[in-house]
């Protein structure tokens, strides 16, 4: 673990952010990173040259460059599972070979991508059909990494949809699949069962329900089911035809898997060319990440800003606030990417972390959040570093005035967070209203904004497939760099296992075939309530 004390001392002595701008007219330029398309402005943070240099030094001390090279070249850096980490190979479209245990993985990746393209072309042109005719709808059944990536990206790229409608079912709550199936035609619906392991209870339960629905409604699961998985034996056992199965290897983590077959629903929605552009965007970010100096490296800087706020300043959460309605699922996607990757308590060698690991990540699109939780962001006692995102241009040319308002709101929020409003300013606002001085003072105190609240803004030209690919890869590499500096394994997720085990053992208790004896009093009382109110068997 790095020694944070030096940086913490810098933080305690840091001037107000607004004063940093006053002292350095070129600050916005010097504290932003640009790639060919994107700009990450981190000038509205308390970082100065000294603090930035101290953070960059963490990269050297933590071996970020060596670890980065190890990841890209297929070394088994996921040490607790003995696996390579090669989601970057999935978008290594025209790069060289990538060796895992001496064998090049690229031919297999290219072959699967070609099969996905062929499948999507057939579905999209009507060459492959359901019993009732060309496919009108696609349901992706998956959860976690087998859901959030394609669900996020399909929503993000709505202007590029020219294929069948895509739906996503993840929750084992029967409400999710029931509400989705209502109104769909079982003879023209394609179901993709997406599960790396093909054992996930939620996904297998939903897949069986969808199969029953299709059979009952006159569809043909043999023709109308596809699978995405690393477990071909299990897909065959479920009855999915091998030509409709798209495999990937265990060196693609679930939450990093949207770039391969897990992205099949996205490819169906936007077409193979659009999917290619998405991959090329990620590849462009990979190249930037691999080659740019740390101080000019967008994922590295985003990581260092994250570490500064969480580990140095002690801000326990960060809000991701896309001013882009089509990125409404991005906060949920990033919650898995960031919190499942870096929400750990032990370092790679098993020793306990001595400080915080990854922060709580949360958020909602703007402007909606402004009318809900921004009150706390502006005036609450906890400081929440904000990560704003906005496009220079929207897709709706006829609604450019909407977009101008959206941009103005986004920029206004980061400005307001930084500037705040002093008591003197608040008193001046209320002067002349005939209030007694104590009353004026009391009213003014409620209108004070502390300011000096940090934010970064990621700005991009327009939310195209190429730009989305860059944004998602940017966040993947940010998580990687934070994990390396914290000394943790960002690629396992042991913390999700215990709940799964207990759910399995609670199944027979909930359905009444086993007693709750031996369970704690709370669990037993909750089961009892379910049974007394018509639940259970």
Among all chains, which residue has been given the structure tokens 């390579």? 84
Residues binding ligand G6P: number (CB under 6 A) = 14
- Map the footprint of ligand G6P across residues 337-356, applying CB under 6 A: 340
Instruction: Return the range that interacts with ligand G6P (CB under 6 A); candidates 141-149, 361-369, 423-431, 460-468.
Output: 141-149
Site string for ligand G6P, 364-403 (x = CB under 6 A): ----------------------------------------
- Regarding 145 and contact with ligand G6P (CB under 6 A), the answer is yes
Rounded CA-CA distance 40/267 in Å is 28
Whether the ω angle into residue 367 lies within 30 degrees of 0, i.e. cis, is yes
Residue 200 CB, shortest distance to ligand G6P, in Å, is 3
Coil vs helix vs strand at 25: coil
Applying CB under 6 A, does 158 fall inside the site for ligand G6P? no
List alpha helices for 27-182, DSSP H.
27-30, 49-62, 64-72, 106-125, 148-156, 174-181
The window from 139-147, 219-227, 357-365, 412-420 that contacts ligand G6P (CB under 6 A) reads 139-147
Does residue number 335 form part of the binding site for ligand G6P (CB under 6 A)? no
Closest CB to ligand G6P among 254 and 366?
A: 254
The dihedral through the CA atoms of 430, 431, 436, 440 has a sign that is positive
CB of 346 to ligand G6P, least distance (A): 18
Q: Whole-number minimum distance, CB 512 to ligand G6P, in Å?
A: 27
Residues of this chain, 179-198, that bind ligand G6P according to CB under 6 A = 195-197
Of the two residues 276 and 476, which places its CB atom closer to ligand G6P in the complex? 476
- Residue 220 CB, nearest approach to ligand G6P (Å): 25
200 near ligand G6P, judged by CB under 6 A? yes
Instruction: Yes or no: say if 270 and 163 are a contact pair by the CB < 8 Å rule.
Output: yes
Active site includes 514? no
- Strand, coil or helix: 260: coil
Pairing verdict, β 386-391 and 317-323: parallel
Q: Please write down the HEC assignment for all residues of 405-425.
A: HHHHHHHHHHHHHHHCECHHH
> Shortest gap between Cβ of 170 and ligand G6P (angstroms)?
9
The residue (of 2 and 254) whose beta carbon lies closer to ligand G6P is 254
DSSP 3-state of 277: helix
- Does the footprint of ligand G6P cover residue 452 (CB under 6 A)? no
Chain position carrying tokens 């990206």? 153
144, 150, 164, 331: which one binds ligand G6P (CB under 6 A): 144
Tally helices (H) and strands (E) across the chain: 22, 15
205 binds ligand G6P (CB under 6 A): no
Cβ closest to ligand G6P, residue 43 vs residue 200: 200
Radius of gyration of the chain (CA): 25
143 binds ligand G6P (CB under 6 A): yes
Task: Give the list of residues 6+ apart from residue 535 with CB closer than 8 angstroms, or none.
Answer: 510
What does the CA dihedral 175, 180, 184, 189 come to, rounded to 10 degrees? -120
Of 67 and 196, CB closest to ligand G6P = 196
**Binding status of residue 328 toward ligand G6P by CB under 6 A:** no
Q: Mask 489-518, x = binds ligand G6P (CB under 6 A)?
A: ----x--x----------------------
Minimal distance in Å, beta carbon 179 to ligand G6P?
A: 21
Number of Cβ atoms within 10 Å of the Cβ of 498: 9
Q: 163's torsion region: left (phi>0), alpha (psi -120 to 50) or beta?
A: beta
Given candidates 112, 146, 367, 452, which one binds ligand G6P under the rule CB under 6 A? 146
DSSP state of 432: T
DSSP state of 73: T
Q: What is the DSSP string of 159-213?
A: GG--SSEEEEE--SSHHHHHHHHTT--TTSEEEEEE-SSS--HHHHHHHHHHHHH
The contact mask relative to ligand G6P for 464-493 (x = CB under 6 A, - = no) is -----------------------------x
End-to-end CA distance of the chain: 50
CB 193 within 8 A of CB 226: yes
List 202, 338, 340, 482, catalytic entry: 340
- Give the count of alpha carbons within 13 A of 80, CB side only: 15
Examine the residue annotation and report whether 371 is marked as an active-site residue of this protein. yes
Q: How far apart are CA 422 and CA 419, in angstroms?
A: 9
Cβ nearer to ligand G6P, comparing 341 with 470: 341
H runs (alpha helix) in 420-517: 423-430, 437-446, 465-486, 497-510
- Count CB-CB contacts under 10 A for residue 30: 12
What is the closest distance, in whole angstroms, from the C-beta atom of residue 262 to ligand G6P in the complex? 8
Nearer to ligand G6P, 195 or 310 (CB): 195
By beta-carbon proximity to ligand G6P, the closer residue of 340 and 476 is: 340
> What mask, x for binding ligand G6P by CB under 6 A, covers residues 252 to 271?
--xx----------------
How far is 119 from 227, CA to CA, in rounded Å? 12
For the question of residue 403 being annotated catalytic, the response is: no
Nearer to ligand G6P, 141 or 406 (CB): 141
Q: Which of 34, 402, 462, 500 is catalytic?
A: 500
Provide the annotated active-site residues.
340, 371, 500
- Interacting residues toward ligand G6P by CB under 6 A: 143-146, 195-197, 200, 203, 254-255, 340, 493, 496
């Amino acid at each position: 673990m790095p020694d944070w004390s030096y940086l913490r001392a810098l933080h305690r002595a840091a001037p107000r952010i607004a004063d940093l701008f006053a002292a350095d007219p070129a600050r916005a330029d010097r504290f932003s990173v640009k790639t060919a398309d994107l700009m990450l402005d981190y000038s509205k943070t308390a970082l100065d040259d000294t603090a930035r240099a101290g953070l960059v030094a963490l990269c050297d001390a933590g071996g970020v460059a060596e670890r980065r090279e190890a990841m890209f070249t297929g070394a088994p850096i996921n040490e607790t599972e003995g696996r390579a980490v090669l989601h970057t190979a999935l978008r290594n479209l025209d790069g060289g070979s990538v060796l895992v245990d001496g064998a090049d993985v690229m031919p297999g990746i290219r072959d699967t991508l070609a099969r996905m393209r062929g499948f999507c072309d057939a579905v999209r042109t009507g060459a492959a059909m359901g019993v009732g005719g060309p496919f009108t709808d696609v349901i992706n059944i998956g959860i976690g990494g087998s859901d959030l990536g394609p669900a996020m990206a399909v929503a993000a790229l709505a202007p590029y949809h020219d294929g069948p409608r895509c739906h996503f079912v993840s929750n084992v709550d029967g409400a999710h699949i029931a509400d989705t199936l209502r109104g769909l035609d079982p003879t023209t619906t394609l179901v993709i069962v997406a599960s790396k392991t093909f054992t996930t209870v939620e996904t297998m339960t939903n897949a069986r329900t969808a199969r029953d629905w299709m059979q009952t409604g006159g569809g043909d699961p043999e023709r109308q089911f596809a699978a995405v998985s690393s477990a071909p034996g299990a897909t065959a056992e479920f009855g999915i035809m091998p030509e409709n199965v798209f495999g990937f290897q265990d060196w693609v983590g679930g939450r990093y898997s949207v770039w391969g077959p897990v992205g099949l629903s996205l490819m169906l929605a936007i077409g193979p060319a659009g999917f290619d552009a998405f991959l090329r965007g990620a590849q462009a970010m990979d190249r930037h990440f691999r080659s740019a100096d740390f101080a000019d490296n967008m994922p590295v800087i985003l990581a260092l800003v994250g570490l500064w706020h969480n580990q140095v300043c002690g801000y326990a959460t960060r809000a991701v606030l896309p001013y882009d309605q089509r990125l409404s699922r991005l906060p949920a996607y990033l919650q898995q990417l960031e919190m499942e990757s870096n929400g750990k308590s032990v370092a790679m060698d098993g020793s306990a972390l001595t400080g915080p690991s990854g922060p709580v990540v949360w958020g909602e699109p703007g402007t909606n959040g402004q009318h809900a939780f921004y009150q706390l962001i502006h005036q609450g006692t906890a400081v929440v570093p904000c990560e704003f995102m906005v496009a220079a241009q929207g897709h709706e040319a006829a609604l450019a005035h909407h977009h101008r308002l959206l941009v103005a709101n986004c920029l206004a929020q980061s400005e307001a967070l930084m500037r705040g409003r002093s008591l003197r300013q608040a008193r001046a606002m209320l002067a002349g209203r005939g209030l007694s001085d104590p009353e004026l003072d009391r009213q003014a105190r409620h209108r004070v904004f502390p300011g000096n609240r940090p934010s970064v803004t990621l700005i991009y030209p327009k939310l195209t497939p190429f730009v989305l690919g860059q944004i998602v890869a940017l966040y993947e590499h940010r998580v990687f760099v934070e994990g390396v500096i914290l000394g943790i394994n960002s690629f396992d997720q042991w913390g999700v296992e215990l709940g799964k085990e207990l759910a399995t053992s609670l199944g027979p208790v909930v359905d009444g075939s086993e007693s709750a004896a031996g369970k704690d009093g709370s669990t037993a009382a909750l089961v009892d309530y379910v049974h007394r109110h018509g639940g259970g068997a």
